[in-house]
Amino acid sequence: MTPLVLVHGFMGGSDQWDAQRAALGGEVRIIAPSLPGFGGNAGMTAPDTISGYTGFVLDALDVQGIGAFDLLGHSMGGMIVQEMVAIAPERVRKLVLYGTGAFSNAEGRFETYEESKRRATVEGARATARRIAATWFADGEKAPGYAACAAIAERASLQAIHAGIDAFGNWSRENNLPNIKCPTLIIWGEHDRSYAWPQIEQLWRTIPGASLAVVPGCAHAVHLEKPNLFNLLLGEFILTG
């Protein structure tokens, strides 16, 4: 069975995929690294470019001797996996782009990138992590998955927060969308405040043959808000065909 690589987004970490490990880990090998500066690797210096994170993930897979893999990227992680499929398309069997876009665009986001950086500096990394994590859920801090998600986000340092924003705030792979040949599934929560519908529609309409799943009642953290439905969508796509 082809391994499934899960790449988290800004202020995420490997632990956020526990529900996916529980649901799918018996059927597929799941590899979910924590990116430099975040989660279990919060002590590392975070790169300030998407290519820096991309190199980290590809190097980690090479060390484990993994050639081909299925690939999912969430949010900033969706940018990283788009970079991966552009660099090494022959290694990616199936691709899932989840709550992400093909270019940097703060339009429709809950606040500008510069405002996020300013508030992180003024309010501190921990307060910023909890505040931003709340925007990822349709029910905000009341959502059942919020507390665990916020605890992971809190591990990020101020350096990692600034570097991550600089990385996804200056990136685009729009020109490569028509070149993505592997089967692709796009997942999006209808109330997502981080990536607006036009970015999702661009992925869906530009990547040849891409499929789209819009999940009702969710925002940016579908895998935590409705994990059973998310796992059903992911498993159906990855494990069949």
The torsion of the CA quartet 140, 142, 148, 154, rounded to 10 degrees, works out to 50
Task: Report the side by side order of strands in the sheet with 92-98.
Answer: 30-31, 4-7, 69-74, 92-98, 184-189, 211-215
* pTM recorded for the entire structure: 0.96
Task: Read off the tokens for 213.
Answer: 């799943």
The CATH class given to the 4-239 domain equals alpha beta
Identify the three-state secondary structure at position 187: strand
Q: Under the phi-then-psi rule, with left for phi > 0, alpha for psi from -120 to 50, and beta for the rest, what region is 97?
A: beta
CB atoms within 10 A of CB 124: 12
Domain boundaries, the chain: 4-239
pLDDT tens digits for the chain (241 residues)? 899 999 999 999 999 999 999 999 999 999 999 999 999 999 999 999 999 999 999 999 999 999 999 999 999 999 999 999 999 999 999 999 999 999 987 777 888 888 899 989 999 999 999 999 999 999 999 999 999 999 999 999 999 999 999 998 889 999 999 999 999 999 999 999 999 999 999 999 999 999 999 999 999 999 999 999 999 999 999 999 7
